[in-house]
Amino acid sequence: MSVELTGAEITIRCLQEEGVQCIFGYPGGAVLFIYDELFKQDKVRHILVRHEQAAIHAADGYARSSNHVGVALVTSGPGVTNAVTGIATAYMDSIPMVVISGQVPTNAIGLDAFQEVDTVGITRPCVKHNFLVKDINELAVTIKKAFYIASTGRPGPVLVDIPKDVSQQKVKFEYPDKVSMRSYNPVTKGHTRQIRKAAELILSAKRPMIYAGGGVILSNAAPQLTELTQLLNFPCTNTLMGLGGYPATDRQSLGMLGMHGTYEANMAMQYCDVLVAVGARFDDRVIGNPKHFFNENRKIIHIDIDPSSISKRVKVDIPIVGDVLDVLKELIKLLKESKEKPDQGALKEWWKQIDLWRERDCLKFDRDSKIIKPQRVIETLFDVTKGDAFITSDVGQHQMWAAQFYKFDKPRRWINSGGLGTMGFGMPAAMGVQLANPKGKVACITGEASIQMCIQELSTCKQYKLPLKIINLNNRYMGMVRQWQEFFHGNRYAESYMNALPDFVKLAESYGHVGMKIEQPGDVEGALKEAFKRKDQLVFLDFITDQTENVFPMVPGGKGLSEMILV
Amino acid sequence: MENEAGALSRVAGLFSARGYNIESLSVAPTEDPTLSRMTIVTVGSDEVVEQVTKQLNKLIEVVKIIDLNDGSHIERELMLVKVRATGSADREEIKRLTEIFRGCIIDVTDKSYTIELTGTSSKLDAFLEAVERSAVLETVRTGASGIGRGEWTLKV
Ligand SMILES: Cc1cc2nc3c(=O)[nH]c(=O)nc-3n(C[C@H](O)[C@H](O)[C@H](O)COP(=O)(O)OP(=O)(O)OC[C@H]3O[C@@H](n4cnc5c(N)ncnc54)[C@H](O)[C@@H]3O)c2cc1C
Ligand SMILES: Cc1ncc(C[n+]2csc(CCOP(=O)(O)OP(=O)(O)O)c2C)c(N)n1
Ligand SMILES: [Mg+2]
């Protein structure tokens, strides 16, 4: 007979049963019993952030870099509302996460009680699912379900709202080994007939293209994607979310595609005759104007675990609903068994064309500039870290340069907010990455505007000795906004200038970290080397960069992929 | 779908969040009290209806979805309508109309009739058109409920 435990004890026991080692949170009235139980045990480590948004981003970075479910704990009311930005960020990028929130006692719900918000209502549109646990008997099974839902199918955040009285009540604790839900049965295996059709189409391709997204990372299928691409000698492009799914330094990689993708990737995307979309969702930042995209004829194979991703923005010819990992394995097997091969002559011609596009050298920039070029900082960062760091980023120009110039050869090394584009994501996410990878080199590429959105986390980094390297590409502008204003709003830089900036060196020092200001191109490499030598310290590198630099190529809104603005 | 608190608001929220039309929605528990069944009437192109279906399927509490238009089906809606009925000529005329539409008068005062009517939504519309506009005092409609024809059943 199992003993009776309180709801709070049960909550912590469930986390232990799930193998959760680290959670991120911030206490408050409604979760005090849960914090009390955290205090009494040492299996689950709690990281105290300085703002709930950061707790969620940290859990998110933890999940993205480790493939574990990220876990966060916040209190009712303002705790939850602060967490919403983080939850929406994780939702848009399909990140497995469980958020536990406190709620006012059940008998106070609906009475405008102190720190009451309708958490289930507020978060409903930005979670995969959420629960309000009104009955202590349902608590353990609900948490089990939450982990199951968060981590299976198309992953996503799941929130469990626990009223204070439920965390106090007692019941016998039994953690189910498994849950099955008649209303939730995600597919994994793709339809064999569809996969067979896909193989046939692939073999008939003359100008093939593989377009791989975040689904490859989420399903841990980078090795299979690489095998498929190399087996066929096809070109491969990755979305912003898919970087690292195929090694970027390899010849067959065309780099990122889309709004700020490479010339060769966008041209090949536009002019291919067979497109294999793997765990990617034809985002508006990726294919530009869909009408223009369909000016060219091509057949599309689309592998995705979520049926609603298929034929949402772009009609496809061969949909395959399934886990990328399973589907690619089966596809590779079929292709290996087949005696046929794609037309090698045509493929050779296609590669010739692609190499011509490549010669356009679309990512060139002034390497001899007397002012620090942001691209140069990222290239040097790549060299100094030998391409082996975990890179998180905030949102803006710096994010795009990071994506273009840091060549990701491995999955789960590039951690950024793609779908929601949340400024403030970078540093807290990096904390989660560092905690999941204590030995890893972790750098956060940011801008002077973004970093200030969660700057308070420098304190958390001090408390837990997280030796992040903050690469601040300081252009004294909300660069991405300024670029749009330059291109599309007649150079009227409305409110995009960052005035009254802090002295970041002193700021870092006041939190107990190391600060460095770098103003000369010649000092970039030395500074980065010095920073990574300080293995146990957070180093804030404030790079004073060219204010007027823009991100190229660029597909302007409403334009087609082949209508890029080039440098 | 699961007969759980909040399930309905997930469905309604999905329609508003994604900008889908919702013409009517009717819902109640089924013979299995853990399940409720909902009939939603929506309009949109084939692509939109396909997305609506896929998005609804993604809701964790939704167990099964069918598009009744994929096969032949029966559709019924209930309407209660209160009409002004004063003079005896009026009263006779309304009684006659109610009979033609196979409705029944379920409440009577010396100034009004309350009529119960079931049928397809267009039949109910037709009744309202047949009655003089100014005579209609109040209407309440349930929205359509639908079921497939024949022996085939929607079972989970
Ligand atoms: C300033 C800014 C600029 C941007 N510019 C660009 C740009 O130039 N290029 C670009 O690509 N993006 C850009 N983005 C990002 C863009 O907004 C989207 O987030 C991104 O393109 C989506 O990537 P994805 O298609 O790989 O989909 P994701 O959001 O990663 O979605 C993954 C897909 O895979 C599916 N999936 C998940 N798990 C599995 C599994 N196990 N098996 C099968 N399928 C699975 C999901 O259902 C989903 O459809 C930009 C963002 C910002 C903020
Ligand atoms: C929370 C939030 N608010 C506003 C925006 C809109 N936005 C996108 S990029 C950007 C400017 C970012 O500036 P900075 O961090 O300095 O990066 P830079 O573009 O200069 O590299 C803004 C305001 C956003 N993405 N997120
Ligand atoms: Mg800036």
How do residues B94-114 score in pLDDT, each as one tens digit? 999 999 999 999 999 999 999
Ligand 1 atom with minimal separation from the A419 CA = 19
Tell me, what's the pLDDT at A403?
Answer: 98
pLDDT bin (cut points 50, 70, 90) of residue B5 is: confident
Whether residue A129 and residue B63 make contact (CB cut-off 8 A), yes or no, is no
Active-site residue set of A: 52, 114-115, 164, 480
pLDDT bin (cut points 50, 70, 90) of residue B155 is: confident
* Per-residue pLDDT tens over the stretch B17-65: 999 999 999 999 999 999 999 999 999 999 999 999 999 999 999 999 9
SS (H, E, C) A49-88: CCCHHHHHHHHHHHHHHHCCCEEEEECCCHHHHHHHHHHH
| Owner of token pair 């939730």 | A184
| Structure tokens, A482 | 């300024």
Say yes or no: CB of residue A258 within 6 Å of ligand 1.
Answer: yes
User: At residue A134, does pLDDT exceed 60?
Assistant: yes
pLDDT bin (cut points 50, 70, 90) of residue A158 is: very high
Mean pLDDT for all residues in chain A: 97
ipTM attached to this prediction: 0.92
pLDDT bin (cut points 50, 70, 90) of residue A1 is: low
- Going by C-alpha positions, the residue among A555, A399, A258 that lies closest to residue A566 is A555
Tell me, what's the pLDDT at A396?
Answer: 98
Whether residue B63 and residue A182 make contact (CB cut-off 8 A), yes or no, is yes
Say yes or no: CB of residue A64 within 6 Å of ligand 1.
Answer: no
Helix axes A263-271, A344-359, angle to 10 degrees: 140
pTM of the model: 0.97
Shortest Cα–Cα distance, B32 to chain A (Å): 14
The contacts of residue A223 (CB under 8 Å, 6+ apart) are none
Instruction: Report CA dihedral (A161, A166, A171, A176) to the nearest 10 degrees.
Output: 0
Nearest CA residue ID for atom 47, ligand 1: A306
- CB of A47 closer than 8 Å to CB of A24: yes
- CB of A122 closer than 8 Å to CB of A81: yes
β-bridge partners, A22:
A45
Q: What is the mean pLDDT of residues A249-274?
A: 98
Mean pLDDT for all residues in chain B: 95
| Structural element, H or E, at residue A495 | none
Q: Which amino acid is at A96?
A: P
β-bridge partners, B39:
B26
- CB of A89 closer than 8 Å to CB of A417: yes
- Rounded to whole angstroms, the Cα distance separating A39 from A353 reads 63
Count of beta carbons in the 10 Å neighbourhood of residue B33: 8
- Going by C-alpha positions, the residue among A107, A95, A235 that lies closest to residue A169 is A107
Say yes or no: CB of residue A214 within 6 Å of ligand 1.
Answer: yes
- Rounded to whole angstroms, the Cα distance separating A153 from A215 reads 11
By the CB criterion, residues less than 5 angstroms from ion ligand 3 are A 447-448, 475, 477, 479
Tell me, what's the pLDDT at B119?
Answer: 97
- Ligand 3 center from residue B9 Cα (angstroms): 41
Tell me, what's the pLDDT at A498?
Answer: 85
| Structural element, H or E, at residue A237 | strand A236-238
Burial of A517 (0-12, 13-18, 19+ CB in 10 A): middle
Search chain B and give the residue with CA nearest A134: B5
User: At residue A274, does pLDDT exceed 90?
Assistant: yes
Q: What is the mean pLDDT of residues A540-546?
A: 98
Count of beta carbons in the 10 Å neighbourhood of residue B89: 8
* Per-residue pLDDT tens over the stretch A381-433: 999 999 999 999 999 999 999 999 999 999 999 999 999 999 999 999 999 99
List residues in chain B touching A: CB distance below 8 A.
1-2, 5-6, 9-10, 13, 17, 47, 50-51, 54-55, 57-58, 60-63, 156
- Rounded to whole angstroms, the Cα distance separating B63 from B1 reads 5
Nearest CA residue ID for atom 8, ligand 2: A396
* Segments in chain B forming alpha helices (H): 7-17, 46-58, 88-100, 121-130
Kindly list the distances between the CA atom of residue A54 and the CA atoms of A427, A454, A468, A543, B21, in Å, as whole numbers in the listed order.
Answer: 8, 7, 15, 24, 37
pLDDT bin (cut points 50, 70, 90) of residue B133 is: confident
Burial of A168 (0-12, 13-18, 19+ CB in 10 A): middle
Ligand 2 atom with minimal separation from the A475 CA = 20
Q: Which residues of B touch A103 (CB under 8 A)?
A: none
- Going by C-alpha positions, the residue among A278, A280, A255, A281 that lies closest to residue A268 is A255
| A475 SS3 class | coil
- Rounded to whole angstroms, the Cα distance separating A308 from A204 reads 28
Say yes or no: CB of residue A479 within 6 Å of ligand 2.
Answer: yes
Q: Which residues of A touch B13 (CB under 8 A)?
A: 124-125
